[in-house]
């Protein structure tokens, strides 16, 4: 690593010259920094366990999906399907036990969503064993089996969720023969995203390896749950914090055009079909 010792040290005069070129909002922010008003906010950034209460708020991301579901209840556009090919001898009871442990381990997978006094809330339901639905395709001709798998996968991916009824995780095992299976997992985006898929696959693999040999779960206890984050986020983004954020962006966006006139190749239909591709 190279160091530039020829650079002149910052002086008060230089600092004032640089500050003069800042916008009023950035200058005010820098002055607060220099006064030490943001000296230590580490405690506010530590996410504690949520209070012990029956209903909990949604995170801002969850609230967006809840709102979209209110507009079009049962719309499967925000279903998150996942198909995992399994090769080799499969211990179905161990796989079912692994999925049940995943449900017990992650509160958000047991959440259901309601409206209380006009506000969306989530309820974390007690953990119950997950029943793995097994569909046997071993009697189907190999030439027809692939189309059957595609059809069942599409059908399951499009089956809507009722966000008030759990669990919002469906698991189906398609058996092609003794050593070829496809595990279909479908969740809703209000509780699952692309990053979650990687976590889910890793944890299923670790749990299955342990349970298939009669061992206990090797996964450490989670320090917090997603509902803890949602509660912390609502508490943290409030009062002066949100006022400061809103004030900053209102100044940054002042004078912007009210409509972003991006050209489109096709007009939006009166009713969305969600038949988009790429």
Long-range contacts of 200-205 (CB under 8 A, 24+ apart): 200/82, 200/102, 201/84, 203/102, 203/105, 204/95, 204/98, 204/99, 204/102
DSSP 43-106: GGGS-PPPPS-SEEEPPHHHHHHHHHHHHSTT-GGGEEEEEEEEES---HHHHHHHHHHHHHH-
Residue, of 251 and 262, whose pLDDT is higher:
251
Cα(50)–Cα(61) distance, integer angstroms: 18
Lowest mean pLDDT, pick from 110-114, 177-181, 204-208, 234-238:
234-238
- The top-scoring range by mean pLDDT among 4-13, 17-26, 74-83 is 74-83
For residue 103, pLDDT beyond 90:
yes
For residue 116, pLDDT beyond 70:
yes
Residue 1 has what pLDDT? Answer: 38
At 38-50, the pLDDT tens digits run 444 545 578 999 9
For residue 112, pLDDT beyond 50:
yes
Residue 59 has what pLDDT? Answer: 96
Cα angle, residue 274 at apex, residues 272 and 278 outer, rounded to 5°:
125
Tokens linked to 31: 């002055």
pLDDT band, residue 13 (cuts 50/70/90): low
Residue 10 has what pLDDT? Answer: 46
Percent of the chain that is helix, strand, coil (3-state, to 5)? 40, 15, 40
φ and ψ at 256, to 5 degrees? -70, 155
For residue 74, pLDDT beyond 90:
no
For residue 73, pLDDT beyond 50:
yes
């Amino acid at each position: 690593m190279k160091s530039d010792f020829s650079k002149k040290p910052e002086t008060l005069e230089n600092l004032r010259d640089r500050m003069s070129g800042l916008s009023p909002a950035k200058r005010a922010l820098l002055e607060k920094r220099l006064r030490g008003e943001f000296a230590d906010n580490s405690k506010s950034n530590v996410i504690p366990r949520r209070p012990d209460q029956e209903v909990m708020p949604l995170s801002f991301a969850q609230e967006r999906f809840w709102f979209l579901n209110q507009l079009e209840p049962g719309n499967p556009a925000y279903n998150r399907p996942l198909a995992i090919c399994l090769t080799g001898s499969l211990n179905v009871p161990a796989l079912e036990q692994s999925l049940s442990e995943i449900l017990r381990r992650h509160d958000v997978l047991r959440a259901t969503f309601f409206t209380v006094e006009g506000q969306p809330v989530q309820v974390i339901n007690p953990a119950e064993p997950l029943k793995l639905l097994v569909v046997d395709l071993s009697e189907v001709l190999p030439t027809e089996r692939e189309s059957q798998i595609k059809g069942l996968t599409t059908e399951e991916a499009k089956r809507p969720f009722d966000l008030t009824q759990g669990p919002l995780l469906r698991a189906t095992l398609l058996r092609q023969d003794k050593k070829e299976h496809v595990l279909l997992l479908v969740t809703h985006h209000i509780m699952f995203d692309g990053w979650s898929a990687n976590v889910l696959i890793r944890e299923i693999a670790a749990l299955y390896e342990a349970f298939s040999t009669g061992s206990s779960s090797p996964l450490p206890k989670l320090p917090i749950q997603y509902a803890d984050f949602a509660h912390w986020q609502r508490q943290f983004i409030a009062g002066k914090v949100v006022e400061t954020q809103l004030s900053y962006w209102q100044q940054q966006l002042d004078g912007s055009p009210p409509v972003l006139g991006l050209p489109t190749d096709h007009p939006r239909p009166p009713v969305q079909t969600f038949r988009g591709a790429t």
